[in-house]
Amino acid sequence: MLALEWAGEALELLPERALYWPRRAALLVSDVHVGKSAAFRAAGVPVPAGDTQSDLARLSAALRRTGARKLLLLGDLFHARSGCDGATLEALAAWRGDHATVEIVLIEGNHDAVDAPLGALGIASAGEVLDLTPLRLMHAPPETCRRPTVAGHVHPAAVVRAGKESVRAPCFWFGRNLALLPAFGVFTGGRSIRARPGERVVLVNQGELVEITPRPARSGRSAPRAR
Amino acid sequence: MHETAEGAHWDLLLPVAGQTSLATWRLAANPVDAPACDWPIAAQRIADHRPLYLEYEGEISGGRGRVRRIDRGSASVRRHSSDRWRVRLVGETLSGEFVLSPAHGAGTFARLDSAKRGRPRSTGVEPGAVVEPAGASAGASFAGDALRPVEAWFTRRGWRPFEFQRAAWRAYLAGESGLIHAPTGVGKTLAVWMGPLLEALASTDGAVRGRGAPGLRVLWITPLRALARDSVAALQEPLAELAPRWTVELRTGDTSSTVRRRQRERLPTALVTTPESLSVLLSHADTRGRFADLRCVFVDEWHELLGTKRGVQTELGLARLRSWLPELRTWGLSATLGNLGEAMQVLLGAHAGAGRLLSADLPKTSEILTLIPDEIESYPWSGHIGLRLLSQVVESIEAARSTLLFTNTRSQAEIWFQALLRARPDWLGSVALHHGSLDRKIRDQVERRLAAGALRCVVCTSSLDLGVDFTPVDQVFQIGSPKGIARLLQRAGRSGHQPGARSRVVCVPAHAFELVEFAAARQAWQERAVEARTPVVRALDVLAQHLVTVGAGGGFEAEALRDEVRTTHAYRELTDAEWDWALEFAASGGPTLRAYPQYARLVLREGRYEIATPRLAAQHRLGIGTISSDASLKVAYVTGRALGTIEESFIGRLAPGDVFVFAGRTLRLVRVCGMTVVVRPARETSGVVPRWNGARFPLSTRLAEAVRRQLSAAREGRYESSEMQAVQALLELQRRQSCLPAPDELLIERAESRDGAHAFLFPFEGRLVHEGLAGLLAWRWTQRQPCSLHVTATDYGLELLSAQPLPEDEATWRALLTPEGLADDLLACLNAGQLARRQFRDIARIAGLILPGYPGAPRPARQLQASSELFFDVFAQFDAGNLLLEQARREVMEQQLEVTRLRDALVRLAGCRLRLVATGRFSPLAFPLWAERLRAQQLSSEKWSDRVRRMSAQLTRQAEREA
């Protein structure tokens, strides 16, 4: 766990690839991509199952550890329609049963148009933006942020080097008015970002949080670009 | 040329005075390369065309096919009667006087002379030269007469067959298979191709005379699509006279759908194709019937396939064909290799016993010359890349008509191209650049202009190493280390490319020690000590792909296919467990997917495994192929014109506005947009030169060994070649300051500097081995003595650097260098897990995990994209027993860490005497290692050069004072 203050709020980064907001007892998670391996199997690609179960177990662990009363999903809970097979939905329903008292809200992401029975799963839909003053939560980060915004969608990842070796891992990224969450799903890729001075990047590598300090400024280096 | 669903025809469009539209005829044959016997060509006057069709190429609306221009030029209609036009054409290839008669309706298009002669069709074969059908087509005793038609064909050209060609024809006619080894450009193609032609001429089944083209008889497999077109032309050449009804066609990934459709109707007599396209053919159920007449398979440039997974794919395809056609003959064509016998065994599989290995020992000689710098530095370092010799190179280029300048890396090619143009700005347009990252169209254009004699010099990389009938050039330069003997000779063979001609390469050293390499390469070549290529075995990804291929191509019985697969060299030691795993993986995704009955690629129907759905078969065909391409981005101007591709890792280090050098131009990065890097021309004359990955070849084992022998001769005071004489002072200095090791000695130098304690080891085993060895030594030493170590490796040796003292006594070094426990120590010290994860990219694609793009869509649906590294993680976590993971680890050990070579090196070193020398400062051998370490520390290149130059000067002054 790594505590930090951002936009005047105390926040906790969890090695489960989730962010906990104590004042609102809310756990923030983005890009779970439930049923991704199932979507691949449906297309004839032999990917082993287990990603969804493993993701749900990790989500349970984060909920228990923090005692969160709310789970805010920042989009892309589901991966694709073809991945929402019976087994996947059953697993999701069973998991929901284990956390019946937690309020779950889904902000819609670009992958979520899958006709999943959100109502039956007890998941409320919040549309595209959820305003929880002072933070604004959404899926895809906007072009410009005048207000502190937490988003996902980008699947940020960063590289740390140690000598000749390097490790690339998902990360949290905090800019001035925009924070990006790592993709929660185990079967998700990442898009490399590079930290500039004044930004904070925290890597999640094998269950550990590692903060990387940006190098001194070099003129004109690329900023993390949000899609 | 106008291709439609029905076939192809050729349109002749002529301007007529006083008329805006073009008089048009439809010709039944291609007038540009129609063999003499096809004249006159049937011609039909059709509706006049608008002038824009003169330039138009591409699709014609309404699904009326595609047109392509095959020739252009001026035309004048000389006599213009309603019935008979006489036309003078001056085209790029077709020129002369022609007659169109009648000028309306159906008639003919004829050369004026052939029309006069009135001999519309002639086979071109001299009547006496046709062998009477003797029924001896496969007989063991074969009269010399059988070769006569081909001998006559040679004679008419003023040529004489080489003895190896005659031997190959006889062996073919006797039903044998084998491998022909000959240097580039001595007639290997004719050595094999005349076999089936002779067989057809001697047979009574109407394969030559009679009506219609015979069905598929010959399959010609070539490693490169780019070569395929040349091969078709080379195979077509003798047909006009010997077998005019035979057809030769191409089928590669580039073949248009129209041609594919036509080939589905009817295959040509000889089909030129790639290993991938052969697999695609095998994935169609009706292929077996369509291949019923197949007599032989020729595999061109087999040395290029051997040692790769595409070679394995070829082996599997051949095994399939042999099980259908037990009489099938297989012949390989190979350049010089150190393991020709093994190469043939791999090609012929379990049938190798009967193989015939034919070598062309021809007088074609190769000369290796070297440009020797006037001044040799005592402390050589690489990095200024031989540009000091630029003026001599420029002079030679000026004096010759055409030059190929080979470099080892793409970045070196860019640097030399820029340097040549700076030296001679007036050569702009006559000097060109050719490397694997340039757009195919640009490369094709360069090749065409070179063939047309329009280029003075092409700066190129291994992208021009191959080519069947590549236009010979006057001279060839090799910039920097040759890295391997076979490679240098192949490059030399690009000059004087005719049978009997001399080929010659001029080597340009990038630093002084490369002079030793050139001398070593020449000596090794004289002794014919050329590198071997190790064949790939037990590649389960290729096997899994093949199983789905065969499943789609009509299905298989498990045991029969297992036995067939085991006839190949690659899988002769395949265990039952591996077979079972591969089959289950191909069929149902492996043991972990058992619980998912909805997932299946192959299903068992009445004892046969067959593809589950036609959609899966189509998807599989798109994914067939074993060559991987890196994650590369397209480089294009704002206008959309493509320049080539560049690796993502390079562009990732640039920001918009940065200037870099690519395709011989300085470019400014505008933006990266999806998979395209958008650039504008930049005004600056220099910029960052991209370094492409994977282009750094290590010194080959053979060449490394030859270098050790050169040094050993120098140690005995023998400086025989001009190269060795040039570096004599340098080696004498090394001997004075330290020592020149004998072949059975390992030199270890120790030195102190303000950076700490240095140990330099010189095994002369090539960079990859040294990298592995350096990592191993560092790990073993830090196990004994915790400290921080820095390691550097070059082709000659390695450096360990530490702030704490390094071992000084022989016993410790012996213990560090022991071959025992190598594999475990390597796994522990190198991040083998990370490497395997990267290695998984190829495997994932071949085994069908990465979905290919669909026609019309460049990439698969977004929600079905995932990187191979991600797949690796998911498998490692949820299916740890997956044998593909195991294969990735094995490939890392063998290919990247070269564990076999490393073990051999350690065993050799264990038998060596150790020469421990405390030098105090850097010796001439150690200096390049020091410079290399500094470079790795990512100083800017100016700072780096300055510092190295200062150090070099300082050491030289010290050495001079002492002398």
pLDDT one-digit tens code per residue, B327-385: 999 999 988 788 899 999 999 998 666 789 998 765 556 788 898 888 777 776 655 54
With cut-offs at 50, 70 and 90, classify the pLDDT of residue A47: confident
According to the model, what pLDDT value does residue A102 have? Answer: 95
B877:A186 CB<8 A: yes
**Could you say which of B599, B657, B873 has the minimum Cβ distance to residue A46?**
B599
Q: Is B824 helix (H, G, I), strand (E, B) or coil?
A: helix
Give the tens place of pLDDT for each residue, B246-260: 999 998 777 788 888
Please give the structure tokens belonging to residue B705.
């060994």
**Is residue B943 very low, low, confident or very high in pLDDT (cuts 50, 70, 90)?**
low
Residue (of B869, B872, B871, B863) closest to A76 by Cα position: B863
Q: Given this model, what pLDDT does residue A96 score?
A: 94
Is the CB of residue A75 less than 8 Å from the CB of residue A108?
yes
Tokens for B603, please give them.
């299903």
**Rounded mean pLDDT, B499-517:** 81
Q: What is the pLDDT of residue A29?
A: 97
Q: Does residue B109 register a pLDDT over 60? A: yes
- Residue recorded with tokens 């950076």: B755
- pLDDT given at position B650: 64
Among B396, B219, B196, B375, smallest CA distance to B297 is for: B219
Band of pLDDT at residue B122, cut at 50, 70 and 90:
very low
- Average pLDDT rounded to a whole number, residues B722-739: 90
Q: Does the CA dihedral A118-A124-A126-A130 come out positive or negative? A: negative
* Range in B8-22, B566-580, B659-673, B684-698 the model is least confident about: B684-698
List the single residue in B834, B866, B875 with the smallest CB-CB distance to A48.
B875
Lowest mean pLDDT among A124-133, A199-208, A212-221, B412-421: A212-221
Round the CA-based radius of gyration of chain A to a whole number and report it: 17
Confidence at B749, pLDDT banded by 50, 70, 90: very high
Please spell the DSSP secondary structure of B495-555, one letter per residue: BS-STT--EEEEEE-SSTHHHHHHHHHHHHHHTT-PPP-PPP---HHHHHHHHHHHHHTT-
pLDDT at B863 over 80: no
Q: Which two tokens stand for residue B514?
A: 């490369």
Q: Which residues of B touch A167 (CB under 8 A)?
A: 834
Question: Residue B330 corresponds to which tokens in the numbers above?
Answer: 């297989």
The nearest alpha carbon in chain B to A83 belongs to B863
Interface probe for A, chosen from B874, B877, B932, B938 (most Cβ of A below 10 Å), is B874
In this predicted model, what pLDDT tens digit does every residue of B761-778 receive, in sequence order?
999 998 888 888 988 898
Complex confidence, ipTM: 0.77
**B895 has a pLDDT exceeding 80:** no
Judge: A220–B657 Cβ closer than 8 Å, yes or no: yes
Which stretches of B663-808 are assigned E, i.e. beta strand? 665-673, 676-681, 745-753, 756-762, 789-793, 798-802
* Residue B323 CB contacts under 8 Å (≥ 6 apart), including other chains: B560, B564
Question: If you average pLDDT over each of A15-29, B367-381, B424-438, which comes out highest?
Answer: A15-29
Q: How far apart are CA B539 and CA B843, in angstroms?
A: 9
Please report, rounded to a whole number, the percentage of residues in chain B having pLDDT higher than 70: 82
How many helices (H) and strands (E) would you count in chain A? 3, 16
pLDDT winner (highest mean) among A74-88, B282-296, B893-907: B282-296
Would you give the DSSP letter of residue B6? T
Give the pLDDT of residue B960: 80
Q: Supply the pLDDT for residue B171.
A: 93
Report how far residue B319's alpha carbon sits from residue B311's, in angstroms, rounded to the nearest whole number: 12
Query: Distances in Å between the alpha carbon of B547 and those of B529, B551, B840?
Result: 39, 6, 20
Q: How far is A200 from chain B (nearest CA, A)?
A: 20
Q: Output A155 or B963, whichever has higher pLDDT.
A: A155
Q: Strand order in B403-406's β-sheet?
A: B366-370, B503-508, B475-479, B403-406, B457-460, B431-434
Residue B852 carries which DSSP code? P
Q: In chain B, pLDDT over 90 holds for what percent of residues?
A: 28
Q: Of B71-75, B553-557, B717-721, which range is least confident? A: B71-75
Question: In sequence order, what are the residues at sequence separation of 6 or more whose Cβ sits closer than 8 angstroms to the Cβ of residue A122?
Answer: A96, A100, A104
State mean pLDDT over B41-52: 78
Polymer length in residues for chain B: 963
Q: Are A73 and A105 in contact (CB under 8 A)?
A: yes
Chain A residue numbers touching B591 (CB-CB < 8 A): none
Q: What pLDDT band is residue B470 in, cutting at 50, 70 and 90?
A: low
**Residue A125's closest CA among A112, A135, A143?**
A112
Q: In this complex, do B599 and A41 lie within 8 Å of one another by their Cβ atoms?
A: yes
Alpha helices in B716-821 (DSSP H): 722-726, 728-737, 767-784, 810-816
Nearest residue to B783 via CA among B772, B791, B775: B775
Predicted local confidence at residue B528, as pLDDT:
75
Give residue B647's pLDDT.
66
DSSP B460: E
Task: Work out the average pLDDT over B865-877.
Answer: 78
Residue A100 to chain B, least CA–CA distance (Å)? 28
Of B598, B851, B877, which has the smallest distance from its Cβ to A45's Cβ?
A: B851
How far apart are the C-alpha atoms of B94 and B74, rounded to whole Å?
11
Strand partners, B271: B219, B249
Q: Which of B142-146, B275-279, B934-938, B950-954 has the lowest mean pLDDT?
A: B142-146
Please give the residue that has the higher pLDDT: either B934 or B667: B667
Q: What is the pLDDT of residues B780-804, one digit of tens each?
A: 998 888 877 888 888 899 999 988 8
| Strand-by-strand arrangement of the B745-753 sheet | B789-793, B798-802, B756-762, B745-753, B913-920
Cβ atoms of A70 and A102 closer than 8 Å: yes
B481-B487-B491 Cα angle (round to 5) = 95
- Cα B507 from chain centre: 22
Query: What pLDDT, on a 0 to 100 scale, did the predictor assign at position B695?
Result: 42
Strands B248-251 vs B270-273: parallel, antiparallel or unpaired:
parallel
Helix locations, B575-647, DSSP H: 576-588, 614-623
pTM over 0.80: no
Parallel/antiparallel/unpaired status of strands A26-29 and A18-21: antiparallel
pLDDT at A81: 83
For residue A183, the cross-strand partners are A30
Residues 6+ apart with CB under 8 A from B477: B393, B396, B403, B404, B405, B406, B505, B506, B507, B508
Q: What is the mean pLDDT of chain A?
A: 86
Dihedral sign, CA of A57, A60, A65, A66?
positive
Amino acid letter at B63?
A: G
Average pLDDT, chain B: 81
* Contact flag B619-A44 (C-beta cutoff 8 Å): yes
- Predicted local distance difference test score (pLDDT) of residue B120: 32
Task: Determine contact, residues B769/B901, Cβ cutoff 8 Å.
Answer: yes
Q: Which residues of A touch B677 (CB under 8 A)?
A: none
Span B554-572, mean pLDDT? 95
**Count of Cβ atoms closer than 10 Å to residue B649 Cβ:** 14
How far apart CA B577 and CA B633 sit, in angstroms, is: 41
User: Which residues of A touch chain B, with CB atoms under 8 Å apart?
Assistant: 36-37, 39-51, 54, 79-80, 82-83, 85, 111, 165, 167, 186-189, 192, 220-222
Q: At residue B536, does pLDDT exceed 70?
A: yes
Of all residues in chain B, what percent are helix, strand and coil, respectively (each to 5)? 40, 20, 40
Q: pLDDT higher for B384 or B450?
A: B450
Chain-chain contact of B590 with A48 (C-beta, under 8 angstroms): yes
